[in-house]
């Protein structure tokens, strides 16, 4: 029998490329930035013996103990300089730091690495929706994400759906892919008293009852289906709020609002600052997420944490976020969306049951668990037969 030699018997020293982390990042930062920030804050507790050298760009975010932060001299908030750092400077920085493992926290590892690597993939939207990316960024991701993942000892996906995409589209063996789903920050669970919600709605000129959708105004969010479904409701006493900044090809959304005669029923507040999100969720009667494709769908869990029932598309990773709580609807079925909206509007009992169950479901997604799953992936990457 071969003898198992496990190099993780000595404390881990992991180098982490966190150059996509803003110097001002917090739990409210969107998408990749929020994931990186919260993961780093919880990693030390997941393995008390491990050491981490965190490579960052502009700024030195406060991340906590046992995280040695090393800032680059280059302005890596500029994409071209970040690519230069990732491929040409990072290998030397990792070698000088003496790390055992290099974790690329966003898609791409250096082609010439001084040690084994782990790569985190959030989604493959640059393959599904290449038109959303600038040409240089798209080419870089398409050229190097697959290579990085196939060379890595382990790949971390943020959902089972993304893990399947990495296996199918990038050719990474399924047994080398781990899943570390995001968590929900405690701020979303904090109770919001009725009088605070009322004051918030008054401040934002919101009606007493409204359905909330949150996301960039772009085709992938599938807002045209939502608008057509909402227009079929027999009564529009409950308004529809489409919160989010303008993305690309958003003119069709505004055109549909005009064509469907929804100007008095659809509210477009624009971009919502992250610090306000808990009160937006808590003030809404129902949260809807008709998106066609997402790496995970964290807004669904945030809404659940606030006690707000959810309706989402039954595609990509969204069923993983919703679980058996709330309603899942085919993204292209307008009639089914209308029926789901009607039940949410007309049934206080359904809203109360789904709200309570949703809070319990959201409690199972913690950043502490994300960190433990990430450390487990590190150890698998360093196992040797």
pLDDT tens across 173-221, in order?
999 999 999 999 999 999 999 999 999 999 999 999 999 999 888 888 9
Quote the mean pLDDT of the chain: 91
Domain identity same for 47 and 75: yes
Q: Residue 60 above 80 pLDDT? A: no
Domain identity same for 309 and 371: no
Question: Residue 76: what are its φ and ψ, rounded to 5°?
Answer: -80, 5
Q: Residue 323 above 50 pLDDT? A: yes
Residues 106-132: tens digit of each pLDDT: 999 999 999 999 999 999 999 998 887
What is the helix (H) or strand (E) element at residue 245, kind and residue range? none
Residue 373 is predicted with a pLDDT of: 98
Question: 83: buried, middle or exposed (CB in 10 Å: 19+, 13-18, 0-12)?
Answer: middle
Domain identity same for 349 and 295: yes
> What tokens does 237 get?
């006493």
Cα(81)–Cα(375) distance, rounded to whole angstroms?
A: 29
pTM of the predicted model as reported, rounded to 2 decimal places: 0.90
Do 145 and 108 form a contact (C-beta atoms < 8 A)? yes
Lowest-pLDDT choice from 58-62, 130-134, 151-155, 324-328: 58-62
Domain identity same for 352 and 203: yes
Residue 1 is predicted with a pLDDT of: 40
CA nearest neighbour of 29 among 247, 242, 273, 248: 273
Domain identity same for 13 and 150: yes
Which residue segment(s) compose the domain that 135 sits in? 5-183+366-384
DSSP-assigned beta bridge partners for residue 190: none
Q: Average pLDDT in the 134-152 region?
A: 93
Domain identity same for 264 and 297: yes
Residue 129 is predicted with a pLDDT of: 86
Domain identity same for 373 and 226: no
Q: Residue 99 above 60 pLDDT? A: yes
Rg (CA), the chain: 22
Residue 78 is predicted with a pLDDT of: 87
Q: What percent of the chain has pLDDT over 70?
A: 94
Residue 136 CB: number of other CB atoms within 10 A? 11
Residue 133 is predicted with a pLDDT of: 81
Domain identity same for 236 and 305: yes
| Residue that has been written with the tokens 């998106």 in this structure | 291
Residues 263-322: tens digit of each pLDDT: 999 999 999 988 899 999 999 999 999 999 999 999 999 999 999 999 999 999 999 999
Domain identity same for 147 and 39: yes
Residue 246 is predicted with a pLDDT of: 86
Do 327 and 340 form a contact (C-beta atoms < 8 A)? yes
Domain identity same for 116 and 18: yes
- Which residues, 6 or more positions from 25, have their beta carbon under 8 angstroms from its beta carbon? 33, 34, 36, 37, 61
Domain identity same for 178 and 281: no
CATH code of the domain in which 120 resides? 3.40.50.2000
Residues 5-30: tens digit of each pLDDT: 444 457 899 999 999 886 554 444 56
Residues 325-343: tens digit of each pLDDT: 999 999 999 999 999 999 9
Cα(360)–Cα(111) distance, rounded to whole angstroms?
A: 43
Domain identity same for 68 and 176: yes
3-state secondary structure (DSSP) of residue 234: coil
The structural domain count of the chain equals 2
Tell me the C-alpha to C-alpha distance, in Å, between residue 65 and each of 11, 48, 96, 295, 375. Answer: 16, 11, 21, 30, 17
- How is residue 147 annotated by DSSP? H
> What tokens does 77 get?
């908030």
Q: Count CA within 13 A, CB hemisphere, residue 234.
A: 5
């Amino acid at each position: 029998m071969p003898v198992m030699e496990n190099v993780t018997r000595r404390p881990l020293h992991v180098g982490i490329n966190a150059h996509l982390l803003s110097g001002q990042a917090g739990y409210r930062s969107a998408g990749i930035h929020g994931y990186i920030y919260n993961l780093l804050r919880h990693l030390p507790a997941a393995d008390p013996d491990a050491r981490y050298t965190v490579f960052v760009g502009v700024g030195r975010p406060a991340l906590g103990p046992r995280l040695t932060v090393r800032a680059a001299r280059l302005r890596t908030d500029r994409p071209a300089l970040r690519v230069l750092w990732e491929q040409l400077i990072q290998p030397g920085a990792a070698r000088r730091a003496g790390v055992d493992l290099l974790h690329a926290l966003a898609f791409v590892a250096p082609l010439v690495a001084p040690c084994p690597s782990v790569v985190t993939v959030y989604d493959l939207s640059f393959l599904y929706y290449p038109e959303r990316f600038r040409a240089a960024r798209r080419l870089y991701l398409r050229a190097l994400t697959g290579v990085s993942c196939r060379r890595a000892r382990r790949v971390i996906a943020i959902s089972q759906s993304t893990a399947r995409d990495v296996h199918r589209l990038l050719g990474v063996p399924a047994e080398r892919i781990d899943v570390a789903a995001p968590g929900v920050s405690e701020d979303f669970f904090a109770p919001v008293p009725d009088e605070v919600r009322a004051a918030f709605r008054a401040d934002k000129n919101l009606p007493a009852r409204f359905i909330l959708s949150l996301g960039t105004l772009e085709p992938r969010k599938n807002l045209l289906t939502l608008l057509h479904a909402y227009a079929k409701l027999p009564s529009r006493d409950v308004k529809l709020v489409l919160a989010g900044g303008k993305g690309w090809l958003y003119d069709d959304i505004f055109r549909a609002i005009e064509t469907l005669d929804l100007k008095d029923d659809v509210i477009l507040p624009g971009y919502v600052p992250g610090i306000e999100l808990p009160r937006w969720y808590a003030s809404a009667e129902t949260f809807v997420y008709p998106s066609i494709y997402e790496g995970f769908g964290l807004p669904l869990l945030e809404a659940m944490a606030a006690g707000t029932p959810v309706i989402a598309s039954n595609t990509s990773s969204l069923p993983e976020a919703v679980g058996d709580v709330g309603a899942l609807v085919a993204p292209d079925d307008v009639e089914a969306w209308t029926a789901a909206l009607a039940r949410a509007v007309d049934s206080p009992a359904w809203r109360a049951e789904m709200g309570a169950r949703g809070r319990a479901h959201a409690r199972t997604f913690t950043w502490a668990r994300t960190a433990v799953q990430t450390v487990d992936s590190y150890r698998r990457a360093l196992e040797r037969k």
